[in-house]
Structure 1
Amino acid sequence: MEGSTAPKTRPYSEVDVFSSEPYRGNALAVVHAADGLSTEQMQRFAAWTNLSETTFLLPPGSSAADYRVRIFTGKEELPFAGHPTLGSAKAWLDAGGALRPGGMVIQECAAGLIPIRLEGDQLAFEAPPLTRYGPVEEELTGRIAGVLGIPREQILDASWLVNGPQWIGVRLASASDVLNLQPDPGKAGNLEIGVVGPYGPGAATRFEVRAFVGGDPVWEDSVTGSLNAGLARWLTDTGFAAPPYTASQGTVLGRRGRVHISLRDGNIWVGGHVTSCIEGTVRL
Structure 2
Amino acid sequence: MEKKFKVENLKVAVFDGPDRMGQAAADFVANKLNRAIHQKGYANLILATGASQFTFLEALQKKEIDWQKITVFHLDEYKGISEDHPASFRKYLKERILDAVAPKKMYFLNGDANDIGREIRRYQDELKKHPIDVACIGIGENGHLAFNDPPVADFQDPKWVKVVALDEACRNQQLGEGWFPTFEDVPTHALTLTIPAILSSQSISCVVPDARKAEAVQNSLYGPISTVCPGSILRTHQDTALFLDTGSASGIKEIK
Q: Tell me which interval the TM-score lies in, with the shorter structure as reference length.
A: 0.3 to 0.5
Structure of larger gyration radius = 1
TM-score w.r.t. length of structure 2: 0.33
By percentage of residues, which structure has more strand?
A: 1
